[in-house]
Chain A
Amino acid sequence: GEDVEQSLFLSVREGDSSVINCTYTDSSSTYLYWYKQEPGAGLQLLTYIFSNMDMKQDQRLTVLLNKKDKHLSLRIADTQTGDSAIYFCAERWGSGGGADGLTFGKGTHLIIQP
């Protein structure tokens, strides 16, 4: 079945870039996502990328997709204390008839050091 893997923790210094990595197994995924969850809060859609793209940039966020290796990364430039959260990688499965939904990784806890 579908599986999404990511490291559980990442620690960076304030002002540095953070790179959160993710691997997935379903080659038929249409979209891949990054969600952010702050403590006690819900899931915020940060960005997503269509599977036929290899890069997407949105202000401080850069998403890179290597479809051959099934590898997705999220780079956060100039990391701030407000970026401290859990970041979930997710892949979209299903289209047309039948079930569909997101499969999530276990989340990467981003820890910001002053």
Chain B
Amino acid sequence: DTAVSQTPKYLVTQMGNDKSIKCEQNLGHDTMYWYKQDSKKFLKIMFSYNNKELIINETVPNRFSPKSPDKAHLNLHINSLELGDSAVYFCASSPRRGSETQYFGPGTRLLVL
């Protein structure tokens, strides 16, 4: 059984489009995250979401908006895609904020043309 799943696995789109990436966890965790891994493999946190409280990394453009319909899902919506948005986006979950384990999804590889 997949603990943290993401769809789609690959996403190729044109500049200016709006797209969404979905994330689901079946672990019963309270906290979810989005991370971005760029072409040099550098990983940085974008958002954390805990019990309907969203904490935003201030370096993330406001074109990125996470949406959580329920505790098991944290989707990432991106408006007006730019070339620099091309990256691998990882969703992660944690039992609660500050807990010792954080499990990652398989990643969504986004390519903006």
Contacts and interface: CB of A to CB of B under 8 A. Distances in A.
Interface string B7-45: 000000000000000000000000101010000111111
B90 A43 contact: yes
Given A88-B43, A101-B45, 9 more contacts: A31-B100, A45-B104, A86-B41, A92-B100, A95-B97, A100-B55, A100-B98, A106-B40, A107-B43
A43 B45 CA distance: 14
Interface string A94-106: 1110111111101
B62 interface: no
B100 to A, nearest CB: 5
20 contacts: A30-B98, A31-B100, A33-B102, A41-B107, A42-B104, A42-B105, A45-B101, A48-B100, A92-B98, A92-B100, A92-B102, A100-B48, A100-B97, A101-B33, A101-B48, A102-B35, A102-B102, A103-B45, A104-B44, A106-B40
A50 B98 CA distance: 12
Contact of B41 (A31, A102, A106): A106
A98 B31 CA distance: 12
Contacts of A103: 45
Given A43-B90, A99-B55, A100-B48, A94 B97 contact: yes
B90 A98 contact: no
A86 B40 CA distance: 12
Contacts of B104: 35, 42-45
A96 B31 CA distance: 12
B50 to A, nearest CB: 8
B102 A45 contact: yes
A95 B31 CA distance: 12
Contacts of A102: 35, 45, 92, 102
Nearest to A50: B100
Nearest to A106: B42
